[in-house]
Amino acid sequence: MTEALLIAGGRVIDPETQTDTTADVLIENGKITSLGDTKGKAPKGCRTIEAKGLVVCPGFIDLHCHLREPGFEDKETIATGTRAAARGGYTTVCCMPNTNPPLDTRAAVDFVKARCAAEGAVRVLPIGCITRGRKGEELSEMGELALAGVAGYSDDGDSVASSRLMRHALEYSRNFGLPVIEHCEDKGLVDGGVVNEGPVAVRLGLRGIPAAAEEVIISRDLALAELTGARLHIAHVSTAGSVELIRRAKQQGIRVTAEATPHHLLLTEERVMGSKGPSVLHGLGPAPLLADAYDTFAKVNPPLRSERDRRALVQGVKDGTIDAIATDHAPHTWIDKACEFGQAAFGMSGLGTAFGVLMELVHRRELGLVTLISKLTFEPGKILWPAHEGHGILAVGSTGDVVIIDPEAEWLVEEKDLLSKGKNNPFIGSKLRGKIMATIFGGRIAYEDRSLGQPVPKATRHD
């Protein structure tokens, strides 16, 4: 039993039903019991949250994050990672299996599920390994992992190098109705690269990673998905060529879905040259490097790409080629990043700032707010729950996973306010416009901003 909650007078957006209207939302016993005018329907003692001027939508769903437990609790734990998720508006997160031990056995998955039940602030869906130990040599016990309750299979951090093994993985996954989530990267083409192959790499004297390293594996995997009829999900798409490959595959009826990250949608390779984003060329010669050049917080895998790639990703989100936006939250310790660029770990801690970062695209009118919410809720929900099962939507009878957001609120990102153990976030010190006011998970308030309930400015519509 949970406290009854009435969210009153907010702008309710539900992409599944194409609802966009002012309404009340009543949640009782973990379920939505009323939408619209709730006058006289709220039970005695029900808490009311005044949401006038705010947006109310389904809780966000993150298809791709790293909670690090077991094995790397110095970077993150299930407790800290899920608290960060709640603050970011997420009510469901999928944790990747590159832990120690990796999630390649039922025992490992059961451990994570038990920890989540005991300490998780939001729902956690484990992703199982494609291969034993993520070594790419033999398949994991995929049937056993399905019975354990994994939401899909991935060797995230590595592609499955063997085409034969990848084919078998897709064939087996089809029997269990689960997607194979592929980190697409040809290691031979990466060859020690640390940034995008291009002018920034040349300017900084760093080895580059060509777009082809991603696109070659995507091409192979799309061919195998067509051969097997299985569900393929492409993780963290980063190049214009990848978007076009996926677009064509969808037109051909191949069962493929894809995700992009907030940082690939907003930032480019120039961010590695410093927080002010200097041009690669300055006058007739190279741009002078700033004090924060070689920014290891901007070192991610796949790397931040060119402006052309970024624009192609945004277009892919708009036209449906890219189904979901996922954080690829990758927390690290201070020492993992406080070193030479080439030695620093790949990854960005992003659960707490994802929504504010993405709202920059809305304010710049590159994306509509309804489209953004769809890519954070309903569409990733379809990938996890093809029959919906009450997740990622706002409807009477659906799960009481709700987020309340203020699209106009400005806030300064400060390290002390990030709930993740990983402080490797390149937006620290930045002012973002778009804030999570409350996250409700299963009818319980998992996060609440201290300013919730105070008068807010008149809302601006972001159609």
User: Which residues are known to be catalytic?
Assistant: 328
**Taking Cα atoms as reference points, which of 283, 291, 303 lies closest to residue 211?**
303
**Taking Cα atoms as reference points, which of 117, 121, 58, 52 lies closest to residue 86?**
121
Determine the angle formed by the axes of helices 240-251 and 212-228, rounding to 10 degrees: 10
> In 10 A of CB 457, how many CB atoms?
9
Structure tokens at 409: 């609120």
Q: How far apart are CA 269 and CA 285, in angstroms?
A: 19
Structure tokens at 145: 């992992």
Asked if 110 contacts 140 with a C-beta cutoff of 8 angstroms, the reply is no
Q: How far apart are CA 326 and CA 258, in angstroms?
A: 10
H/E run at residue 360: helix 354-363
Contacts of 127 (CB under 8 A, 6+ apart): 94, 95, 96, 97, 103, 150, 151, 152, 153, 154, 156, 181
Beta strands, E only, 18-169: 19-28, 31-36, 47-50, 55-58, 60-65, 90-95, 123-126
> Is 144 in a helix, a strand, or coil?
helix
> In 10 A of CB 201, how many CB atoms?
19
Structure tokens at 390: 């009450």
**Residue 58: C-alpha distances to residues 73, 299, 374, 385 (Å):** 30, 31, 9, 15
φ/ψ of residue 438, rounded to 5? -160, 145
What is the Cβ-side half-sphere exposure of residue 412, based on CA atoms within 13 angstroms?
4
Q: How far apart are CA 25 and CA 18, in angstroms?
A: 16
**DSSP 8-state secondary structure symbol assigned to residue 455:** -
H/E run at residue 217: helix 212-228
